[in-house]
Amino acid sequence: MKIDVRRVADLSKLRLTEDELLTMEKDLEMILAHIERLAAVQVEGVEPTFGSREPEGLRLEPDDPKPGLSRASLLELGPSTQEGYYVVPARESEGRE
């Protein structure tokens, strides 16, 4: 199966160089070849598995909520705060003039 990588990149709005397009094409060909090999595997009569089995002796801890950090503690971790918020540099929006 051949995929037009340039078209996919255009549809995805990706700007790829010629070298990147060639690399992507080779990678996609390898992935598709692997999928074709997997599709050829005979699985008739093989029971499906829907997840991993819990290994013997492995004890899972309950997922109980635990208290987190306070707002004040988190704000202390930031480089700059003002009136209870982090201060970050302003960023110009794309497309504005």
The tens digit of pLDDT for each residue in 9-28 reads: 999 999 999 999 999 999 99
The two three-digit tokens of residue 8, written as one number = 């996919």
Asked if residue 32 belongs to a domain, the reply is: yes
- Distance (Å) of CA 37 to CA 31, 32, 47: 10, 9, 20
Say if residue 35's pLDDT is above 70.
Answer: yes
Distance CA 26, CA 20 (A): 10
The count of domains in the chain is: 1
**pTM, whole model, 2 decimals?**
0.45
Whether 92 has a pLDDT exceeding 90, the answer reads no
Rounded Cα distance, 35 and 71, in Å: 49
Q: How far from 33 is each of 12, 39, 48, 94, CA to CA, in Å?
A: 23, 10, 24, 40
CA 97 to chain centroid: 33
For residue 11, being part of any structural domain is answered with yes
Q: What is the pLDDT of residue 60?
A: 76
Terminal-residue alpha carbon distance, the chain: 45
Determine contact, residues 23/30, Cβ cutoff 8 Å.
no
Q: Would you say residue 26 lies in a domain?
A: yes
Is a pLDDT exceeding 60 seen at residue 94?
no
Residue 74 lies in a domain: no
